Amino acid sequence: MKAHVYVTMRRGVLEPQGRAVQKSLENLGYTQVKGVRIGKFIEVELDGVSRQEAENILEEICRKLLANPVIEDFRFEIVEE
């Protein structure tokens, strides 16, 4: 079973990597780019679990390891059974 996890900085929390990229793009002439925020896109493969079990595991590992709930939001989706 395959899942995609998205981890993003919460709105209101400064995301310095994206800010640096935006500044670089501005210097390269891409003044139409007004905002860049960089998060994580995580592909997870699970074996021998039901959809419900997979969702429980994903919720847990996001909270424990993949995201920092104080400053980051996460969401996930099962993309392949």
Instruction: Give me the residues that bind a copy of itself (CB under 8 A), please.
Output: 6-8, 18, 21, 24-25, 28, 30, 32-49, 53-54, 57, 60-61, 64-66
How far apart are CB 78 and a copy of itself at their closest, in Å? 13
| For a copy of itself, the closer CB: 35 or 70 | 35
58 close to 7: Cβ distance less than 8 angstroms:
no
Residue 11, burial from CB neighbour count under 10 angstroms (0-12, 13-18, 19+): exposed
Query: Nearest 5°: CA angle at 50, between 62 and 57?
Result: 15
| For a copy of itself, the closer CB: 27 or 70 | 27
